[in-house]
Amino acid sequence: MTEKKTNRRDFLFTATYAVGAVGVGATIWPMIDQMNPDASVKALASTEVDVSAVNPGKTITVLWRGKPIFIRRRTQDEIAEARSVKLEDLKHPEKDEDRAANPEWLVMLGVCTHLGCVPLDQKGEYNGWFCPCHGSHYDISGRIRKGPAPTNMEIPKYEFVNANTIKIG
Amino acid sequence: MSDHEYTPKSKFGKWFNDRLPLLTLANHLTDYPTPKNLNYWWTFGGILTFCLITQIVTGLVLAMHYIAHADMAFDSVEHIMRDVNYGWLIRYIHANGASMFFLAVYIHIFRSLFYGSYKAPREIIWIIGIIIYLLMMAAAFLGYVLPWGQMSFWGATVITNLFSAIPLVGEGIVTWLWGGYSVDNPTLTRFFTLHYLIPFLILGLVVLHIWALHVPGNNNPVGIDIKKPSKDTVPFHPYIVIKDGFALLMFMIVFAFFVFYTPNILGHADNYIEANPLVTPAHIVPEWYLLPFYAILRSVPDKLLGVVAMLSAILILAALPWLDTSKIRSAVFRPLYRQFYWILVADVLILGYVGAMPAEGLYLLVARVATAYYFLHFLVILPVLGWKEKTLPIPLSITEPILGGSPNLATAKNKESLNK
């Protein structure tokens, strides 16, 4: 058995493969990346909503980035209920205080974290939302309590511009 | 493959064939020796080819009138239904054609399961078939999104969200698939492109499927290897052509019944409501042909595991040639397998039924038991059955049961060893 020595030809092969791989990658990447959200989609990043007409115990739904946002003005009972839940009873433990900085207003993405359906308001076994697609139950803080969804409904980035206006995004 | 050399009769034919042997191929296809005992379950290959051509031709015509835009897609489909000459007919053929395609493919697959057509030396034919089946499901799903009705939109949302179950990169993949932050116009245009592409991929795979079939030749109801050509075979033309043609006519009667008498029975009324991203229909169900897998998805109470279970239920079929350890192909000679086969058929039908029902109470329980049994069949029953089952003696040829046994001691011994 002869000893294998690295020669000039091996170097040329390796260099050719390496440059070729970079070239193929650089050609394929634009083909893949063109499918990601484009500039016009990204431009629609924030929405302002007037919530002065929402009464306690009512939810409005607004569209943000093509997805529904639930804005619920919660009653005192609902706030008390949401804040009394023990963290160990939750599948995805989150304090209501962290989900609704202003306890009266719950602003969340109205999208079930299972497979993306829109849950129904004031339905289900936990007095919150119920997803009709595959039976996930959410409580009055939008936290998953029962069913296949893995996490609580998401809280988007939002802020109160003034007492009556919420800016989402 | 027919062994004899073929020479075209005409001088031009010979000249052409020497340069491109198309006539040799045509001769191979007409003379192709086929087992003479093929029953009507074997006619679905031809029927499926007809279905594919029908979908491609009607789809091409629909694409001349359809507009792939979130604001116009729904209206353009209604325009096809009301204004385009015979548009209603072409669309109903295309929509019901998808269901007929799946009806035929399920019969084709269950025929393979009964007669062991997936076993050596036909594993590659089988695996190509499974890939075709996966592409069919993709094409059907993408096509269902195009009319941009409520079921289109929410079906697309639910199915693309399956990818979000993948740890870490899932959300990124879903955004990439959508081309936005929800199912919207960019999603629709790319779905249309892919829906147009996939049938041609299927067509290419069908060529490979048939090519791979013509190497060992057809399996047959007795499930034994036969000499080709021999007294056990007949030429493909005219024998099989006529039989396939007759079966195709019968199939077309069923097809026409749906198209002309109940064109919407296999669809969902919700899809005649334009897509609305703010309201999910109360009860989302996929088309009937995906229901068993949908039931498996819903029977697992965990998102990632549910998706894994659903995909495994399909992909496990690709491993079937190695999971089934029995040397005997046909269920005719496997008394126990035959019973488990029918239990599996019932199991899949039950899964389909509970997949259409709400995922709660008794339905959920039934779905879980049926899902468990589905995997039990492939992962436990089939491998064990190959070892334990006492099979019946198989004949030495297709004609043997009619003309009597072979006096040849060597072949008789060989036969006994097969039965162990």
Collapsing DSSP to helix, strand or coil, B34 comes out as strand
- Dump pLDDT digits (tens) for B328-347: 999 999 999 999 999 999 99
The mean pLDDT of A110-124, rounded to a whole number, is 88
Number of H helices, E strands in chain B: 18, 2
User: Quick check: A148 and B157 CB within 8 A?
Assistant: no
DSSP letter assigned to residue B170: H
Contact status of A118 with chain B (Cβ, < 8 Å): yes
Alpha carbons A135 and B383: distance in angstroms, whole number:
36
d(CA A116, CA A153): 10
Q: Is the pLDDT of residue B108 over 80?
A: yes
What pLDDT was estimated at residue B230? Answer: 87
| Maximum Cα interatomic distance, chain A, rounded to a whole number of Å | 88
Where along chain B do its domains lie? 28-284, 296-391+411-420
Q: How far apart are CA B128 and CA B108, in angstroms?
A: 14
Closest to A35 (Cβ–Cβ): which among B164, B190, B281?
A: B190
Identify the pLDDT of residue B311. 95
What ipTM does the predicted assembly reach? 0.77
Residue-level pLDDT at A12: 94
pLDDT at B209 over 70: yes
Instruction: Give the architecture (CATH level 2) of B28-284.
Output: Up-down Bundle (1.20)
Most confident of A84-88, B230-234, B372-376: B372-376
pLDDT of res. A44: 75
pLDDT reported for residue B21: 94
Residues with Cβ within 8 Å of B72's Cβ and at least 6 positions away in sequence, in order, are: none
Q: Which residues, other chains included, contact A153 with Cβ-Cβ below 8 Å and sequence gap of 6+?
A: A70, A108, A109, A110, A111, A112, A113, A119, A129, A138, A142, A143, A144
Please answer whether residues A118 and B279 qualify as being in contact, where contact means their C-beta atoms are separated by less than 8 angstroms. yes
Could you list the beta-strand ranges (E) of B103-242: 233-235
The rounded distance, in Å, linking the Cα atoms of A117 and A134 is 9
Which residues of chain A lie closer than 8 angstroms to B301, CB-CB? Answer: 147-148
Per-residue tokens: A115: 């497979």
**B266, B151 contact by CB (below 8 A):** no
- What local confidence, expressed as pLDDT, does residue B407 receive? 47
Give the pLDDT confidence score for residue B301 in this predicted structure: 81
Q: Does A143 touch chain B (CB under 8 A)?
A: no
pLDDT digits (tens, 9 = 90+) for B269-319: 999 999 999 888 878 889 999 999 999 998 988 889 999 999 999 999 999
**pLDDT of B409 above 50:** no
**Which among A92, A114, A134, A137 is annotated as catalytic?**
A134
Minimum Cα–Cα distance from A61: chain B residue: B278
Task: Give residue B420's pLDDT.
Answer: 45
Q: 3-state SS of chain A?
A: CCCCCCCHHHHHHHHHHHHHHHHHHHHHHHHHHCCCCCHHHHCCCCEEEECCCCCCCEEEEEEECCEEEEEEECCHHHHHHHHHCCHHHCCCCCCHHHHCCCCCEEEEECCCCCCCCCCEEEECCCEEEEECCCCEEEECCCCEEECCCCCCCCCCCEEEEECCEEEEC
Is A134 among the catalytic positions?
yes
CB of A147 less than 8 A from some CB of B: yes
Which of A41, A116, A135 has the CB atom closest to B186's CB atom?
Answer: A41
| Residue B137 clears pLDDT 90, i.e. is over it | yes
Least reliable range by pLDDT among A87-91, B51-55, B305-309: A87-91
pLDDT range class, residue B116, cuts 50, 70, 90:
very high
A135–B360 C-beta distance less than 8 A: yes
- According to the model, what pLDDT value does residue B154 have? 92
Range with the largest mean pLDDT of A38-47, A92-101, B7-16, B158-167: B7-16
For residue A43 the two structure tokens come to 């431009």
**What percent of chain B is predicted at pLDDT more than 90?**
83
- CB-nearest to B284 from A65, A117, A149 is A117
Q: Cβ contact (<8 Å) for B303 and A41?
A: no
Q: Look at residue B403 in the predicted model and tell me its pLDDT.
A: 66
Q: Is B53 a residue whose pLDDT tops 70?
A: yes
Q: What is the mean pLDDT of residues B213-232?
A: 92
The answer, yes or no, to whether residue A8 has pLDDT greater than 50, is yes
**A-interface mutation test, from B141, B148, B181, B297, most A Cβ less than 10 A away:** B181
Residue of A101, B245, A122, A117 whose CA lies nearest to A109: A117
Mean pLDDT on A155-168: 89
pLDDT, tens only, B60-103? 999 999 999 999 999 999 999 999 999 999 999 999 999 999 99
Q: What's the pLDDT score for residue A14?
A: 94
Reduced to 3 states, what is the DSSP secondary structure of residue B234? strand
Instruction: Check CB contact of A91 with chain B, cutoff 8 Å.
Output: no
Task: Give the pLDDT score at B400.
Answer: 76
Q: What is the mean pLDDT of chain B?
A: 92
A157 touches chain B (CB under 8 A): no
- Which of B405, B223, B400, B417 has the alpha carbon at shortest distance from B324? B223
The H-or-E segment that residue B35 falls in is strand B33-35
CA–CA separation, A34 and A31 (whole Å): 6
**Are A37 and B175 within 8 A, CB to CB?**
yes
Query: B277 and A38: CB-CB below 8 Å?
Result: no
Strand partners, A167: A48, A159
pLDDT higher for B230 or B189?
Answer: B189
Judge whether B399 and B227 are in contact, CB under 8 Å: no
Beta pairing class for B233-235 and B33-35: antiparallel
**How much is the pLDDT for B2?**
44
Look up residue B36 and give its DSSP letter. Answer: T
Q: Which two tokens stand for residue B383?
A: 């491998």
Residue B28 has pLDDT above 90, yes or no: yes
